[in-house]
Structure 1
């Protein structure tokens, strides 16, 4: 048994990835991850002088999309195999964000009871229409899902509406005449399609039409977001690949095309590679902003915000470059004009385990089970129960009951208090950094007492004990 307590003596407590692990022969595992930050380790985008710095969120919120409804901004991002899935974040100024919900607790398919890395929810889109919030997403081999809610903080109603393979990155659109459409990509195909939908957005009505395919000018085009502005249909879509690509915009007077194309944002002379997939939003003040991700390796896909100007019916995103239609990403800029100042906040990281639910920052590697943990036995702690997992070489990559959260900053410190009461030899409890390469520190019950060891592993090789402290 391992019991993890919040460390209330720390001035600032934030949690990211730690483990409680128990297992003879590395067959039985249990994981929890907690991280403590002091103030200097917090990544705060709000400079509190009227400006902000990028990234606005230094954490892995891949493929962000957003909308504004009155004075509120809502953002969603990919979750892949992590559960609960598709975090919903809220902000009043596009700089200060917090998690308010997830679109689903689990995916209603048995395959997600085990870690299904690279699958699950890809590139969701969020929209508001006729009093309902909609989130659309695809999984690579299951199909097209739609979730609806009266408010983003409510429980979402999730449905699989089209059982198909290889669809990706769907975005709904309701036109002025009430007709509904869905634009999407196809996995590894460099093609954009558009479909008619039923007015309530719950049925696809046709096989779709190809509206863009140009391997020379816009290779690897994906992640389309469809808007109608001043009589033009605009599709914002990244191309060129995650590491070294750019933002393209397609424009047409007819939703079915033909579409003109233009590059509107690229890395240029900056250190912001990509810059990749994102969403456009207009403020009440009339300003426009574009949020997108940048791939930062082990830190994940962090979120940047760029100013947007319009000229001759085309957007220029970021800082304008002389003689180029494409802007460059900014490192710092004026905060959006939302009419007032709002408190500085960041996505949640701390958890005192003093409520009957986990903090919204926590995710498992697969559909969660109630028998994995308890928050009720001792308020202020989480009790983790042993779970038998038949993995080869102790490979954490295939363990479903890993409780994790995203890296919250470039530098941070993880701290937790552990009550470790082992029943037999080889039971372990500790702290893990998890990814394709992973490492953890663990207390291990031995015949002679308890030792402290460091373990490393990879997703293809499994565990290798490298050092006893």
Structure 2
């Protein structure tokens, strides 16, 4: 039997994997969304389910109480050591953090700052079972530190709570002809060598490198082990190596796909006669390949649909900032109630913290949500959105005469406020079925049904991501600034259906 890449066809950016017994776990960047550090599980490396998150809030709270779409959690590393799961990540504005837990579903520890500083990104720990030493390697973000294209190594306390030295550059890619933007290191011990698997060349067109040394602090020799060649997989980039119980080696990495973000590929991996890893088909990404020799698992993928049972939303949803009490009031029936949060930024969803989001699917599909606007507040609105550097949404808005109107609005990347994408129409009873049809190229066509059949609405909207983040689907409820509670909106039967 075979599998087809990508195995995770959505924005699971900067993936890393580890194996514990017969189980495989994966985490990914979550940037400024909350909860952060998603945790995925598989038993065959192909079919993955989302089982939780390791980070419930971002700190400092004052910084992340408003959207910081491309900040926060960058490029985590996931390891299992001393009967605990460990995740290290870099916040480019604060430094290197870690959390740990006795079980993948937690409880996870409070984040600990391991190394403070701006521009510290992509950290990865290593506990050397041969010597008992612990190490940490990280890369640099030029936007914060003024330098990049180098990897810095440290000795680390075995308990992961801090570092034992000032660190030194162990790979300086400025000295390697043709190498630039070296980042995303993953650190391993294998066959008597220290190994660093790290990409370079940029996410759009780069390659995956391997570095090895007999000593952690070098010197390291390098080799390109995965690149696009004549395939359609651009810039095969940043990921992790994992070995199955049967001894097979596999490499998980991402591919940058514009508005879809960074989708995840699975590549076979072997070792050549000189002891170097060979990834994919002799260094080129595979699209279809024989599945890992692992017990069969039913087809699975991270959840997208949601009936909001008991008024609760599924773990696939993330807020665009640290959530506040009352944004999603609990109730006993099915359906998601969102408070119409009063905001001066209601005209610009990119600046609103109370947007409940999930990843934009990487394949053609339709997205539907049923909405009832319960709020009677003038100017209250709620809807279904595609959110990125530009955004577009369709939903309902309450007029001063008490009527609800179907509205469709958008804003270009450079616009500071939204404008109408279609003429508003009355929505009897304040109800609507909202729909987005996604076609190749992340082109979105909006439509609605207010009781008299489906109707197209507005022009095609081309979704866009942000600098490091793919586009998102979002649900929201807002109201103009003013005193008191502005009421709620209720969403039911959220569905993503492949085309």
Tell me, yes or no, whether TM beats 0.5. Answer: yes
Distance 2:413 2:342 in 1: 19
* Deviation of 1:245 (Å): 0.1
Q: Secondary structure at the match of 2:396?
A: strand
| Corresponding residue number in structure 2 for 1:384 | 338
The answer to whether the Cα contact below 8 Å between 2:27 and 2:77 also exists between their aligned partners in 1 is yes
* Deviation of 1:418 (Å): 1.5
Distance 1:450 1:378 in 2: 26
The answer to whether the Cα contact below 8 Å between 1:85 and 1:106 also exists between their aligned partners in 2 is yes
The answer to whether the Cα contact below 8 Å between 1:451 and 1:468 also exists between their aligned partners in 2 is no
Distance 1:204 1:460 in 2: 43
1:105-129 CA-to-partner distances (Å, cap 9, x unmatched) read 1113120111112210000000111
The number of equivalent residue pairs is: 411
Distance 1:406 1:53 in 2: 20
> Normalising by structure 1, what TM-score?
0.85
Unaligned runs of 5+ in 2: 143-147, 425-499
> Normalising by structure 2, what TM-score?
0.80
Q: Secondary structure at the match of 1:285?
A: coil
Distance 2:396 2:366 in 1: 19
| Corresponding residue number in structure 2 for 1:21 | none
Distance 2:406 2:306 in 1: 25
* Deviation of 1:378 (Å): 4.0
* Deviation of 1:428 (Å): 1.7
| Corresponding residue number in structure 1 for 2:105 | 153
Q: Secondary structure at the match of 2:418?
A: strand
Q: Secondary structure at the match of 1:328?
A: coil
* Deviation of 1:356 (Å): 6.4
Distance 2:380 2:236 in 1: 45
Point out which structure has higher relative CO (alpha carbons under 8 A, 6+ apart).
Answer: 1
Distance 1:334 1:204 in 2: 42
Matches for 1:216-227 after TM superposition, within 5 Å: 216-227=177-188
Distance 1:154 1:209 in 2: 34
For the pair 1:419 / 2:372, whether they are aligned, the reply is: yes
| Corresponding residue number in structure 2 for 1:455 | 409
For the pair 1:235 / 2:196, whether they are aligned, the reply is: yes
Distance 1:463 1:379 in 2: 34
- CA pair 265-259 structure 1, distance change in 2 beyond 3 A: same
Within the candidate set 316, 320, 323, 1:368 is matched to: 323
Q: Secondary structure at the match of 2:45?
A: coil
Q: Secondary structure at the match of 1:124?
A: strand
- CA pair 370-364 structure 1, distance change in 2 beyond 3 A: same
Distance 1:95 1:467 in 2: 42
RMSD: 1.4
For the pair 1:404 / 2:357, whether they are aligned, the reply is: yes
For the pair 1:191 / 2:150, whether they are aligned, the reply is: yes
Distance 1:153 1:317 in 2: 31
Within the candidate set 290, 315, 330, 1:334 is matched to: 290
- CA pair 382-357 structure 1, distance change in 2 beyond 3 A: closer
Distance 1:466 1:251 in 2: 55
- CA pair 151-356 structure 1, distance change in 2 beyond 3 A: farther
* Deviation of 1:357 (Å): 4.4
Q: Secondary structure at the match of 1:173?
A: strand
Distance 2:87 2:343 in 1: 33
| Corresponding residue number in structure 2 for 1:99 | 50
Unaligned runs of 5+ in 1: 1-49, 321-326
Distance 1:317 1:75 in 2: 19
